[in-house]
Chain A
């Protein structure tokens, strides 16, 4: 078998699904509508459908859509209150926006042949950097120079404190990196593994096994889609708590 025939027989491109494509053809510039734009727009439309249209009647006995919207609201509300404290409820709208957007993008990405926007680091880095910058600015705005007390562990022995300060500063600046890569990596890994199993389904011998694998990984991905959105928002709450109460 020549190399060309081999390449044709076994198409193995698990990362192909993440390729950005222009919707109307042509080159991609920063203003070009791509499939990422399309699916992010669809996520926003779905959110509007759930939260605006679903709760428009404001029935005392909620309809199914309204109760889902109320459930999502109450879930994030109690999460902010539990993790970041009562004062953090002022920033609840931002955290709710983050959670709902990530959940909807993750679940829309699970539709076969769709495009998962959160698997692209460009999307998640923007989300994580917005959290990082706004939390840091908020800390300096509320506490002034005392916000730097976050890096000065006053409960440790004096000799250790400079060392700890360096570690704390490094871990503070690694935050946006791990915050964004965690979401993108998890979503990307899940979709790529499904694609790998789908490639195995091409061979008749292991096709049943591959199908079971696809179903199992898809179930796993549904879980991951929700848990990663939850983790992203809960970490936002933790960072927010650090900005509100910087002293150790």
Chain B
């Protein structure tokens, strides 16, 4: 019985941890959307900024990956 509750807590915790990935999705969407709206206003300057775009995406995405990692740790390591 006690083991079942621990198991249940693990699954609930892993499910809750994945909510954080939604935040990463919002962040990446906001970055790309703003890049696109800027790029459409001044297409000639957009080409030089793709590196910045990917750096921004990487930073925003890192935190989503962290929450994914927490979920994985709860599922398989704890």
Report which A residues bind B (CB closer than 8 A): 15, 79, 82-83, 178, 181-182, 185-186, 188-189, 227, 230-231, 234-235, 238
**Would you call B55 and A235 a contact (CB within 8 A)?**
yes
Complex interface: chain A residues within 8 A of B57 (CB)? 231
Stretch of B6-14, B35-43, B62-70 at the chain-chain interface: B62-70
CB-based contact B51/A185 at 8 Å: no
Q: How far is the CA of A48 from the CA of B72 in the complex (A)?
A: 35
Alpha-carbon gap, A234 to B54, bound state (A): 8
Which residues of B come within 8 Å of A, CB atoms?
48, 51, 54-55, 57-59, 61-62, 65-66, 68-69, 72, 76
Are B69 and A231 in touch, CB under 8 angstroms?
A: no
A83 and B51 contact, CB distance less than 8 A: yes
Q: A15-B76, A178-B62 are in contact. Are A185 and B68 (CB under 8 A)?
A: yes
Shortest CB distance A82–B (Å): 6
Q: How far is the CB of A214 from chain B (nearest CB, A)?
A: 20
Residues of chain A contacted by B54 (CB below 8 angstroms): 227, 230-231, 234
- A181 and B66 contact, CB distance less than 8 A: yes
Q: A181-B69, A189-B68 are in contact. Are A234 and B55 (CB under 8 A)?
A: yes
A182 vs B48: C-alpha distance when bound (angstroms): 24
Q: How far is the CB of B31 from chain A (nearest CB, A)?
A: 13
CA distance A193 to B59 in the complex (A): 22
A182: which of B51, B65, B72, B76 is its contact (CB, 8 Å)? B65
Task: Flag if B58 contacts A231 (CB, 8 Å).
Answer: yes
Nearest residue, chain A, Cβ from B64? A185
Set of chain A residues within 8 Å of B48, measured between Cβ atoms: 82
* Cα–Cα distance between A11 and B57 once the two chains are bound (Å): 35
Q: Are A181 and B62 in contact (CB under 8 A)?
A: yes
In the complex, what distance in Å separates the CA atom of A82 from the CA atom of B52? 11
> In the complex, A184→B2 CA distance in Å?
34
How far, in whole Å, are A182 and B76 apart by their CA atoms in the complex?
Answer: 19
Q: Identify which of B51, B58, B68 gathers the most chain A CB atoms within 10 Å of its CB.
A: B58
Q: Which of chain B's residues has its CB closest to A228's CB? A: B58
Expressed in whole angstroms, the Cα–Cα distance for A210 and B76 within the complex equals 24
Closest 7 CB pairs of A and B: A185-B65, A231-B58, A178-B62, A182-B62, A182-B65, A83-B51, A231-B54
Q: In the complex, which residues of chain A have a beta carbon less than 8 angstroms from the beta carbon of B55? A: 231, 234-235, 238
Which residues does chain B contribute within 8 Å of A15, judged by CB atoms? 72, 76
Chain B residue contacts of A79, Cβ below 8 A: 51
Whether A182 and B58, one on each chain, are in contact in the complex, defined by CB atoms closer than 8 angstroms, is yes
Contact of A234 among B51, B61, B62, B76 (CB under 8 A): B51
Contact residues in B for A227 (Cβ distance below 8 Å): 54
CB distance from B16 to the nearest CB of A (A): 17
Q: In the complex, given contacts A178-B62, A181-B66, A231-B57, what are 8 additional A-B residue pairs having Cβ atoms less than 8 angstroms apart?
A: A82-B48, A82-B51, A178-B66, A182-B61, A186-B61, A188-B72, A234-B58, A238-B55
Residue of A nearest to B71 (CB): A189
Bound-state Cα–Cα, A230 to B52, Å: 12
